[in-house]
Structure 1
Amino acid sequence: MNKLSSFALCSVLAATALSSFSGVAAPVSEVVKSDIRSASHKARDEFRNPQQTLNFFGIQENMAVVEIWPGGGWYSEILAPMLADKGTFYAAHFPSGTDVEYFNKHLPKYQAKIANTKGMEKTKLTGFHPKHATDMAPAGSVDAVLTFRNLHNFYMNGDEALKIALASSFKALKPGGIFGVVDHRLPEELDAEKNRNSGYIKQSVVIKMAEEAGFKFVAESSVNANPLDNAQHEKGVWSLSPTFALGEKDRAKYQTLGESDRMTLKFVKPSTM
């Protein structure tokens, strides 16, 4: 990503209806397979493991779920149709009305996507930014807040930005709600400050700061781990697929390496405070 940054259907008839999206929410396994999703996004499934990841977080089709900074909508193509009928999907994208060129370029693209993609029309578009917009959803209203490869963006701008992102997530959740994190993992033996702008962040830092924000750490999964990635690249995580920031330099090596080594962490907001 840029810096700024389950069960089978019972019949062939049902499967066909889902492929064109009937407007009825479906289990994650079926949405992942469906034609709702773009081919380029499906091509990343081997590295991003959406079905296993969402099952680990415990996401169900009757939940209210926030996705922080959904970017081009990779996970939104799964979450929005999954939640369309029985649940609610909040996309806490970049805020409007700022002077940040990157935000102003990519927010309209996402707005067009949800307007023109079957299954995404019910998306509730909100804005989030540690300085400009901190309410990603009504306080205490959602069952889960998910962030995919985003916490490092806030961390790159200082601990305070990450603290605000965590506090805003905590505020949006109901007691007992889930906070799910996937992010590029910096090896614990490396210097955190020297690598702050690399796009990687230590798992220990995420857990410590999330717990300081009030979350309880529940479990980790290795589903998105990549032991081949040592997190030491000339242009940080953006050297790897799918960005290939080095262009043709070492491209074959990075294609073989795949996407980054990622932590997958599940937290909850305690039911009693």
Structure 2
Amino acid sequence: MTCRRHLLLFAAATLCLSASPALAADAALQAAVGSPDRAPANVARDGARHPYESLIFWGLKPKQTVIEVSPGGGYWTEILAPYAKATGGTYVAGLADLANPQISDGARKGRANFEMRFMDPAKYGTVRFVNFGPVAAPLGAAGSADLVLTARNVHNWTSQPGVADKIFADFFAVLKPGGLLAVEDHRADPKSDADKGADGYLATATVVALAEKAGFKLDATSEINANPKDTKDHPFGVWTLPPTKRTAPAGQPEDPNFDRTKYDAIGESDRMTLRFRKPS
């Protein structure tokens, strides 16, 4: 009886030890999502973007090297950088390609501002910044990253011949065998994307084809970021919806008389949430 009890206690202790890393990872991610250091405007979008659930689905884990390209306003950076710091990982941001002479002054300034914002080791650890773009050098050493994330960017690449292919090939090259590619983008389905994403929407099949052409395998899909209220039929494309809330064509002054009521009621777009894997 005593021997059996000891065996049961040993098994329970072993189970607790084996479970603790996962529990710690969840706690670290919950802490990052709930951090008071996040911008209030970003926190206000959590109901539409589901950061905790999305990152768990995409395969985020402790000690990973995570590369995010074109992080925009830093929605994911505010979560991923502190998470990497807390769990012994590395966060890398792929920003405007400073080696490209065609990059605008605005893009250069935007990168400088982003770097300054996240250059606080106490909050974010050591964030690394690399060049990213249609003619940029590799994102890092081949096979060096565990997870690459691109959120709401693919539609910007598909209208330029060869650009999306080059970028997906870069993702494939930098990931380790078995590494993961996380994609979020505005979903055209069930409509087509004959305009190649000019309205901001892409068909899921288009993104899957790009990834598979680069060598990835579709690992899983999720409806975490689905929005059935999104008709995908808006006067200024997806940018009519929050958070952009465009009221006039791009490049024109905003229209103060534009009625936003029904577009604000839709909320943020219907989005595909995809996970691809680089074969081992």
Establish whether TM, by shorter chain, passes 0.5.
yes
**Aligned equivalents of 2:259 and 2:188: distance in 1?**
21
Q: Aligned residue for 1:240?
A: 241
Which of 88, 112, 134 matches 1:108? 112
**Corresponding residue for 1:228?**
229
Please list every run of at least 4 consecutive aligned residues from structure 1 whose deviation after the TM superposition is greater than 3 angstroms.
Answer: 6-9
RMSD between aligned residues: 2.0
C-alpha distance in 1 between matches for 2:90 and 2:264: 37
Equivalent in the alignment of 2:14: none
Counterpart among 232, 246, 255 of residue 264 in structure 2: 255
Match of 2:63 in 1: 62
Counterpart of 1:179 in structure 2 is: 181
- Cα distance in 2 for residues equivalent to 1:212 and 1:8: 37
Distance 1:137 1:196 in 2: 28
Are positions 1:119 and 2:150 aligned together?
no
Q: Structure 1: how far apart are the matches of 2:106 and 2:125?
A: 24
Q: Mind listing any 5+ residue stretches in structure 1 that lack a counterpart?
A: 1-5, 10-24
- What residue number does 2:250 align with? none
CA distance in 2, matches of 1:240, 1:178: 30
Give distance in 2, aligned partners of 1:64 and 1:194.
Answer: 35
Structure 1 Cα separation of the partners of residues 148 and 24 of structure 2? 26
- Alignment-derived partner of residue 170 in structure 1: 172
Residue number among 140, 146, 149 corresponding to 1:146 in the alignment:
149
> Which of the two has greater helix per residue?
2
Give the CA deviation at 1:119.
2.1
Structure 2 residue 32 is matched with structure 1 residue 31: yes
The CA deviation string for residues 28-48 of structure 1, in whole angstroms up to 9 with x for no partner, is: 111101112111110000011
Q: Deviation of residue 7 (structure 1)?
A: 4.8
Report SS of the residue matched to 2:113.
Answer: helix
In our comparison, the structure showing a higher alpha carbon Rg is: 2
Q: How many residues align?
A: 248
**Structure 1: distance between partners of 2:118 and 2:242:** 25
Distance in 2 between residues matched to 1:223 and 1:174, nearest whole Å:
26
Partners of 2:211 and 2:175 in 1: how far apart?
14
Inter-CA distance 215–106: structure 2 relative to 1 (3 Å threshold): same
Q: Is the 8 A contact 2:92 2:130 kept in 1?
A: yes
Q: Does 1:91 align with 2:100?
A: no
TM-score (norm 1): 0.85
Please give the TM-score of this superposition, normalised by the length of structure 2.
0.83
**Identity rate, percent:** 37
